[in-house]
Each structure stands twice: as structure tokens, then as C-alpha cells.
Structure 1
Amino acid sequence: MGRTRTYQWEDPAILAEAAGSMSGIDFLRELQKGRLPAPPIGTTLDMALDEVEPGRVVFSLTPGEEHYNPIGSVHGGVFATLLDSAAGCAVQSTLPQGMAYTSLDLTVKFLRRITVDTGTVRAVGTVVSSSRQTALAQAQLFDATDRLLAHATSSCLLFPVPAPRS
């Protein structure tokens, strides 16, 4: 008999509207406290936003079989998504109301294999530099003993949030 996993998510338009109506750090803190619904990707992968401060965020994920690739370890895309979220949200935590970001690139270095036996992993994202139109962030993925599992850098484009349609 096969294994199954069921989950549900809220309308992502709720988050998009909220993101444009408050500063990046306030938005992330509302997400962290559960006053805004989790983004669909967070629900899909079952990752959590654990820490938020200006220029730094921490996400966590406990690997499960549903994250596996065909050779019995966590798929690199799961690592990359976690690292992309940490780097991007670190940038978001520095943005004023009315500004948003999007990832321009993501460079990931996979250093160790992850399985269910690895236990919970943490992605720590920090802003390296920021200007008016771009930001550079990095993210590191650690296990419970602070072993570095992967590292990423991301360039982000900063832009004004489009005005809501009437």
C-alpha cells in the first residue's frame, strides 16, 4: 500500500495584498505569528518561519520521505526552495511598505546528503548588501549539530508594489 499526504492552503492573494500594505518585517512577523496564512509553498513542503529580525530570518523543515528523490535522499529542489525562501525573506525583512522583491538568481552549493535521519534542518538567511534596486543575500542550511549542509547566494530585484486595481 502506498503512502499518502494531504494538506490544504489558503488563497495566496490574501498574502499578496497583505505584503503590499505593511513593511516587510511586519509582514513576516504576522506570518510567523500565524495572523496571516502560510504561503502555499510553506504548506506544500511543511516548512516553518521560526525567526525574523531586520536582515535575518530562519526557516526550518523536518525532512520526510515525501521530500525524497529517486535515490533515497532529500531532493536538491527542497534544499534550494528552503534556501531561496531564507535569502529572499531576509531581504524582505529590510523593505519598507510599498516595496517588494523577486529573486533574480540563486546559486546553491550542496555539501551533504539529507535524509529523514538528519532530523530538522534550519536555513538561516542574511542580507549581505542592499542598494536602491538590488540586494544580495546568502543562506546557509544547518542540521541540529550546526553542521553546514548547503549554502546559497541570491541576487534580488527591488521594486515598488503595483497599486491595487480598482
Structure 2
Amino acid sequence: MTETMDGIEGAESTGAAEDAQRTRTYAWNDPLASFAEGAGMSGVEYLRAMAEGRVPKPPISETLGFDGISDVAEGRVIFTLTPAEHHYNPIGSVHGGVYATLLDSACGCAVQSLLPAGDYYTSLDLSVKFLRGMTKDTGQVQCIGTVTHMGRRTALAEARIVDGNGKLYATATSTCMIFRAGEK
């Protein structure tokens, strides 16, 4: 055992490759420019443009390393993610915040897919149920978001994360507040 700089004892490094520090770099586009580009589009048009690469993904997608949007329909979106080490928490599995961000994104974008140009939403709440852990060995997962109720002022959506075999990893429900163009 050796003493580390912060005074906590730990195992001495073996110098093996697995002890090497990893790095990750990424870039993103100006989110306000992307938003302005999509301002004249309906929600489903904007999300399809994003899925096709005609509009840049939001910075959070790059920060967390989402693979992207793989499918968009009115009231339904599918995000994909391939879990990696940079998603890990201190116990060696994907952090719950990654799950929550993916689920929140799918719920919100499912609502967005039903909005006309000029309308927008924000999440009011998110309730997540974690069912099993993901690791870098899980393989690509899908997060499927669907709208269960669309009202004038609020919408309810749900999302679920599944692997390639259909195994369920987490579910969520979200209430979104809708802001209509021209209304204060």
C-alpha cells in the first residue's frame, strides 16, 4: 500500500496498460444557431433534420456520447447509445445520470415531435425506475420515447431503455409543459 497525494491509502500501481489514464475529446456546434435554424420547422421536421445530420445535435448529445436519434415519428422517437467507460460511475457501471438524461431526452423529444413550428416545451418532472445495470459490454441500447397524452398546456410521455435482445434496463415517465407560439 502507498499513500496517495490526498492522504488516502490505495494499492500501488502495477504500471499495466489498464492503469493508464484515458482521455476523450469532442466538439459541438453553437446550440443557439441550431435552434434558430429549426425555428421555422415543426417539431417532427426539426428532429428528422437532426437525425439526418442536416441540423447539428445538441451539445449534451456530444458530451454524453449519444449515438444519435435513429427514428422519428409523430409522438415517438428512438435514441441510441453505446455504453462506454466514460459513462461509468465509481462502481464500474453506467451512471444513473446517463440513464436519466437519455430517458429525459426521449420523453421530451417525443413531445416535441407533436408540436407545430414556434411551439416548445420544457420538462416539469421525470420519474425514473432503474431495473438493471449497463456496462461497456452491454452493446448498443435504444431509448424509445412515446407520448401518452398531449394536452394544450401539458403532455405526458414515457420512455424505456432496451438492449438489442429487448431486455429492459430502465423506464421513465415525464410531464412536459407546453409553450404555444404567440401566447404569454
- Code of the residue aligned with 2:111 in structure 1: it is V
Report whether the alignment pairs 1:7 with 2:30.
no
Structure with larger Rg? 2
Structure 1 runs (4+) deviating above 2 angstroms are: 160-163
Residue of structure 2 in register with 1:102 after alignment: 122
Q: Counterpart of 2:109?
A: 89
Matched, 1:121 2:141: yes
State the alpha-carbon separation in 2 of the partners of residues 99 and 161 from structure 1.
5
Secondary structure of the 1:15 match is helix
Give 1:17 shift: 1.3
Q: Percent identity?
A: 56
Mapping for residues 13-162 of structure 1, pairs under 5 Å: 13-47=32-66, 48-161=68-181
Quick one: distance in 2 between partners of 1:132 and 1:160? 8
Structure 1 residue 19, shift from structure 2 partner: 3.5
Secondary structure in 1 matching 2:137: helix
Higher relative contact order (CA 8 A, sep 6+): 1
Query: RMSD value over aligned CA atoms?
Result: 1.3
Query: Residue 56 of structure 2 aligns to a residue in which SS?
Result: coil
Aligned residues: 163
Residue 21 of structure 1: CA displacement? 1.6
Structure 1: unaligned runs, 5 residues or longer: none
Cα deviation, residue 41, structure 1: 0.6
Unaligned runs of 5+ in 2: 1-19
Alpha-carbon contact 1:99-1:158 (below 8 Å) kept: yes
Q: Which amino acid aligns with 2:174?
A: S
Deviation track 1:61-116 (CA, whole Å, cap 9, x = no partner) reads 00000000000000000000000000100000000011000000000000001101
